Amino acid sequence: MTARLDRLVRVELRKLATTRLSYGLLATSAGLTALWTTLEASRAGTSGGPAPLSSYSGLTSIVTGGVWGLILAAVLGVIISSGEFRHHTATLTYLAAPDRSRVLAAKAVAGAVGGAVFGLAGYAVAATVGLAFTAARGYHVPIGAITFVNWGFGHLAAGALLAAIGVTVGSLVRSQLAGVIGVFVWSIIIESLLGGLFTALRPYLPYTAATTLAGTPLGSASFGPARSTVAVGVPLPFAAAAALLAAIALTGAAVAARTTVRRDIT
């Protein structure tokens, strides 16, 4: 009944480390980020593309463009919780730790650790691509080292919080396929639509708030017509964006703990 939370977190981290899916997802995230940022960097300074890489805004849009790492961090969170039902492993998990709220908390923490890795990996790939293009074009880097460090911390926090939200989504829907599709539809379509139609609402949308933590200019993490290569509107302050995402994760976890997590395991 009272299995220590740190032991449960280590169990969940070991589960993550012993399946190929975790590594495949990380590789996919890095690959998508490399592809996306390479395409964007190659268009920098051209008509319709991002600003030149010699400018602060141009290089910012590339280096903070590792959004696939953040989206896939949320997907990782969904898989951590819903995978228990997909593979019928929930029975053994709850036999080992009958306190299901504690298991959910452990999954959220483990998801946050994994999500932080995804966020940082995406940032590392995007920064490498951005700096490589900047150097290849003979420009000086227009951004200071402290800013790079801050963005790294922002990607870490954004990946961690989105993965924790993903864990609660997976606990609520239980269907892995529905949860994963839901993450993509929400971040790529729904937030782009809502953010494009209601610009005042945009900073408060969870995926957008996560990209705010990562330093992405407001609007440039959107997809389709809602996407902008220059900042549109005023993003939330870092602390407010982090608090918003933490509140969403905690609310989702509280709802899941009182509803779906209590259901019979038949």
Binding site for another protein (CB under 8 A): 1-3, 7-8, 10-11, 14-15, 18-21, 83, 87-89, 91-92, 94-99, 262, 264-266
- Would you say 35 or 92 has its CB closer to another protein? 92
Nearest C-alpha neighbor of 78 from the set 174, 185, 14, 11: 174
Q: CB-wise, 22 or 192, nearer to another protein? A: 22
Cα 186 to Cα 119, 125, 195, 229, 240: the distances in Å are 18, 24, 11, 21, 21
Tokens 């945009």 -> residue:
202
Nearer to another protein, 24 or 144 (CB): 24
- DSSP percent split of the chain into helix, strand, coil, nearest 5: 75, 0, 25
The beta strand positions in the chain, using DSSP E, are none
Q: Which amino acid does the sequence have at 159?
A: G
What are the C-alpha distances in Å from 241 to residues 103, 119, 174? 26, 16, 27
CB of 173 to another protein, least distance (A): 19
On whether the CB atoms of residues 173 and 167 are closer than 8 A, the answer is no
At closest approach, how far in Å is the CB of 189 from another protein?
30
Residue 177, judged by CB atoms within 10 A of its CB (0-12, 13-18, 19+), counts as: exposed
Q: How far is the CB of 131 from another protein (least distance, A)?
A: 36
Phi, psi of 59 (to 5 degrees): -70, -35
At closest approach, how far in Å is the CB of 78 from another protein? 16
Query: At closest approach, how far in Å is the CB of 8 from another protein?
Result: 8
CB-nearer residue toward another protein: 46 or 266: 266
Distance of closest approach, residue 30 Cβ to another protein, in angstroms: 20
For 82, list phi and psi in degrees, rounded to 5: -75, -25
Considering the complex, state which of residue 8 and residue 241 has its C-beta at the smaller distance from another protein: 8
> Helix 56-63 and helix 20-43: axis angle, to 10°?
160
Compare residues 15 and 43 and give the one whose CB is closer to another protein. 15
Task: Work out the burial of residue 223: count CB atoms within 10 Å of its CB; fewer than 13 is exposed, 13-18 middle, 19 or more buried.
Answer: middle
Nearer to another protein among residue 4 and residue 137 (C-beta): 4
CB of 97 to another protein, least distance (A): 7
